[in-house]
Structure 1
């Protein structure tokens, strides 16, 4: 009797006493709770591992560039205008705001600018001619080029009064004298490379470096010292004509691309190709040299140069010109192991085409 009374008292007074119903219920609840916590922690660890794998696979893109990619237009501005104005004028007089701009030849554009810049009109007969070229910056892997830049030495131009510091590397003494006469600050061979490595010759103020083919192997040892000034064959800094290379990088005209309207896939380059009072042949030769320099930067894509607009400084007139006759034809040559290295080969030089041929081709395209 006493034992049964004590057992009943334990269940009533101490419900959590070992062996009681409440105690067993609390134990089962605690077990289920800990099992749920352990399962949740396991899921969280698995999710973290998956997130790390995704982060490793994706390349880092800055926030501003990511916003630009999301909001960048997918269609060219000219293509949008062509959808709005699909018709072509049938008469020789029309409203320009209702139609697309007519593509004219280079000779026609030069004649129009000479008429507008005549002393009896704007009185700027020596106005510089600026060519605005639109470029296709897309690549094969759905990416885009950031910038396109280079240096050009035009065959017909006045003194630009631009002087850049250039260092020339070549073994032949005659080539060294030619480079110094062309404007190089320092010229030398393997001895010069050794002095630069030891710090005896300072190259902090050197803007560009050009190298002969027989010296480029030694110059590559200065990769960490020259940095951006290191000679590259693609930029025309490695070759055999030391005088031309030195003159180009010392006093050449520099161009750099820029993007407008938030576009990522297209860019523009503005470049002076001459003056209004220059002969047509001189302007054409300057244009060919400039387009050759631009084409070599991305020759694999056929549609790299999309459009050209010719303007005269001081005038509001602008004319879309046909650049196809002046763009050199190139092909991509595979070299190196397994054909991974690309090299540019010009099939034929750009040739001047008569205005009648340009107008006939324009009519066929229309």
Structure 2
């Protein structure tokens, strides 16, 4: 009987570079499909009624839980409203939450971000803004808030937005690429997008000339919320101007909570914690002014309810006093709720496209002039 010598290799005997490169290739090949087209998982079998009812029950339980927590928190805040502590030492849970100015909150966050603690002075400072989504009709709520903004102090530590520019003349492709477009072109670019040559993660937004509106609309199933339209400000006559605006702008999009349609949450980034206080304050003011100016006309009462500043990974959160940065208050006539049977007011949410573009281009010009003065 012959015996064969078997040698077993452990991962420790393999070179780390080979392991990392092989797994990197494996990960890339598994994430990018053919033609780099985004594909969604499809169920191989039909979902039975039992599993569907379980999912519906779980979602309904989540909605009820969120609703209960929110109502309890609102009731607690109403009870504590007006309770001010009379001494320096007190239980926070027994009094109305304190509102901090931006300078006070930033200083407290910097104390926790020192090198001997969290060592995160270069981390981004975030503000969670709570928006009021209630309208005059009791059962109607604003589904989502969307807008674009050019900050006076650019977040240069964030990734640059990659823009696909569908220009009127394909001969101008090189000019758009030089100006910073991820890719540009005319009918050829539209064809490449329709064939799935661009992976979903390769670009952030799309701008197009108005002459391509009919063909671009056919790409709705591929572009989804990135489809350029006149309403979102990504379809117009001056594509170079649109590309410059949306490559330098910040996209604002609120998220909802299941079971609590009355509010929406908006996460904004002011800058790095190590930045000068004036730069952080200018960005915060620009954010809040943009939110107030672009709000829906159907909103009843104050649109911006509160703002909570934090800087991960520090666990401290402070409620901001934002009344000094934006003019809060109900700007439209009559704030009485309308019952289900009464007539609903028309939605005047469609903002003038030209005014929005002019406002954002003015912000870019101011920013460029400021940079020239600094130089």
Identify if the C-alpha distance between structure 1 residues 104 and 233 changes in structure 2 by more than 3 Å, giving closer, same or farther: farther
Separation in structure 2 between the aligned mates of residue 306 and residue 239 of structure 1, nearest angstrom: 34
Q: 1:137 is matched with which residue?
A: 133
Q: 1:166 aligns with which of 164, 170, 176?
A: 164
Q: 2:316 is matched with which residue?
A: 317
Q: 2:305 is matched with which residue?
A: 306
- Is the counterpart of residue 183 in structure 1 residue 180 in structure 2? yes
Identify if the C-alpha distance between structure 1 residues 235 and 122 changes in structure 2 by more than 3 Å, giving closer, same or farther: same
Separation in structure 2 between the aligned mates of residue 328 and residue 96 of structure 1, nearest angstrom: 29
What is the number of equivalent residue pairs in this alignment? Answer: 273
- Is the counterpart of residue 216 in structure 1 residue 224 in structure 2? no
Moved more, 274-283 or 158-167: 158-167
Unaligned runs of 5+ in 1: 1-61, 333-337, 350-366
Separation in structure 2 between the aligned mates of residue 210 and residue 242 of structure 1, nearest angstrom: 7
Q: Deviations over 1:255-296 (max 9, x none)?
A: 543344732221212222212110112112222343355445
Matches within 5 A, 1:247-326: 247=244, 249-250=246-247, 254=251, 256-260=253-257, 262-295=259-292, 297-300=294-297, 301=299, 303-326=302-325
Q: 2:86 aligns with which of 81, 87, 90?
A: 90
Q: 1:156 aligns with which of 154, 157, 175?
A: 154
Separation in structure 2 between the aligned mates of residue 85 and residue 183 of structure 1, nearest angstrom: 53
Q: 1:79 aligns with which of 74, 78, 81?
A: 74
- Secondary structure of residue in 2 paired with 1:264: strand
Identify if the C-alpha distance between structure 1 residues 132 and 182 changes in structure 2 by more than 3 Å, giving closer, same or farther: farther
Separation in structure 2 between the aligned mates of residue 112 and residue 264 of structure 1, nearest angstrom: 33
- Secondary structure of residue in 2 paired with 1:265: strand
The one of the two structures with greater contact order (alpha-carbon pairs below 8 A, sep at least 6) is 2
Separation in structure 2 between the aligned mates of residue 341 and residue 253 of structure 1, nearest angstrom: 20
Separation in structure 1 between the aligned mates of residue 123 and residue 212 of structure 2, nearest angstrom: 46
Identify if the C-alpha distance between structure 1 residues 236 and 304 changes in structure 2 by more than 3 Å, giving closer, same or farther: farther
Separation in structure 1 between the aligned mates of residue 241 and residue 86 of structure 2, nearest angstrom: 50
Q: Deviations over 1:192-245 (max 9, x none)?
A: 25x567x4775743653224xxx4254244312245333234433245775564
Separation in structure 1 between the aligned mates of residue 331 and residue 72 of structure 2, nearest angstrom: 29
Aligned partners of 2:145 and 2:295 also within 8 Å: no
- Secondary structure of residue in 2 paired with 1:343: coil
Separation in structure 2 between the aligned mates of residue 109 and residue 339 of structure 1, nearest angstrom: 38
Deviation of 1:102 (Å) = 1.0
Separation in structure 2 between the aligned mates of residue 318 and residue 124 of structure 1, nearest angstrom: 15
Aligned partners of 1:309 and 1:318 also within 8 Å: yes
Q: 1:343 is matched with which residue?
A: 351
Unaligned runs of 5+ in 2: 1-54, 333-345, 361-375
TM-score under structure 1 normalisation? Answer: 0.58
Deviation of 1:131 (Å) = 0.7
